[in-house]
Amino acid sequence: MNYIVDSVDSALKLLSLVAEHPGLGVTELSNRLGINKSRTYRMLCTLEHNRFVLQDERTTTYSLGPQAFVIGVAASQQNILVRAAQKSMLVLNQAINETIVLRVREGLETVCVARSETTHQVRSVGSVGNRRPISSGASGKVLLAFSPDAVRNEFFTRMKHLPGEAETMTLAEELAAVTRKGYAISAGEVTSGAIAIAVPVRDVSGEVVAALSISGPEARISRIEIPDYLERLQACSRQISAELGYAGAALAQAPNEAQADKVA
């Protein structure tokens, strides 16, 4: 039996769309949802009445309202993973003054669930709730490499329908290397000129539930810094994993091996 309430389902999808793509108007929101403009507008009015969204009167576009912020804060406080990670991420952020990001897998996408921002003016742009394809960036490759076989099989099955067999083989080899080494490094994959280093975070069962990363411009994260940053990142991951109840041996990589990694 289907217990889904269609109107609530549509409203929640609309709210999620506003959260992921702020600055859209009624017409574009209705087109993306595949429902008529009149119904979309009525749902937006209802969400605005409850302060979940706000309309910019000048541009007639929508963004999240204060009640959405209240829900977001409550969710972060109640989420075991985020709660376990926040303190360790902040300590690492303050030690190196680079952006620390925690991402999880949802289907074949990754979602940012926590960030500790650098104070440098030049930084990687992003926000909590940001989504991207699972094959993008160091964090995505960690989450894909350590995902269940069924997820990887689905991913590569979809890739077979796209042009570029050589790219598929290259990615498969890259994921095998990530699994073997226990970390991933990307250069310019998501943001031009940016470096990211990512490692897995495990829960009490030993399953990888998140990817923890350091990101910043190549000018600040060079080959010289990478071994030290990787070691710090792995230590931070071990702390978070321990908070989640993981008691197994952490994956470790010698600094000299990390320095030899090809990051360009």
Domain closes at, from 42, 69, 96: 69
Same domain, 219 and 102: yes
Same domain, 64 and 84: no
Closest CA to 100 of 114, 111, 116: 116
Q: What would the two tokens of residue 141 be?
A: 């490759």
In angstroms and rounded to an integer, the radius of gyration of the C-alpha atoms of the chain is 20
In a domain, 137, yes or no: yes
Coil/strand/helix, residue 35: coil
Residue 210's domain spans which residues?
A: 79-259
44 lies in the same domain as 87: no
Query: Which residues, listed in sequence order, are joined to residue 100 by a DSSP beta bridge?
Result: 116, 214
Q: Render pLDDT for 182-198 as a digit per residue (tens, 0 to 9).
A: 999 999 888 888 999 99
Per-residue pLDDT at 257: 44
CATH number for the domain spanning 250: value is 3.30.450.40
What average pLDDT score do residues 230-247 get? 94
Render 190-201 in DSSP notation, one character per residue.
SSTTEEEEEEEE
Classify residue 74: in a domain, yes or no: no
Q: How many domains does the chain have?
A: 2
Between CA 41 and CA 182 the distance in angstroms is 48
Is there a single domain that holds both residue 126 and residue 63? no
Between 260 and 196, name the one with better pLDDT. Answer: 196
| pTM of the model as a whole | 0.72
> Among 69, 90, 115, where does a domain finish?
69
pLDDT, residue 77, reads 63
* pLDDT tens digit sequence for 159-177: 887 765 567 788 999 999 9
Lowest-pLDDT choice from 42-51, 146-155, 216-225, 251-260: 251-260
> 83 and 174: one domain?
yes
Closest by Cα among 185, 184, 181, 252 to 218: 185
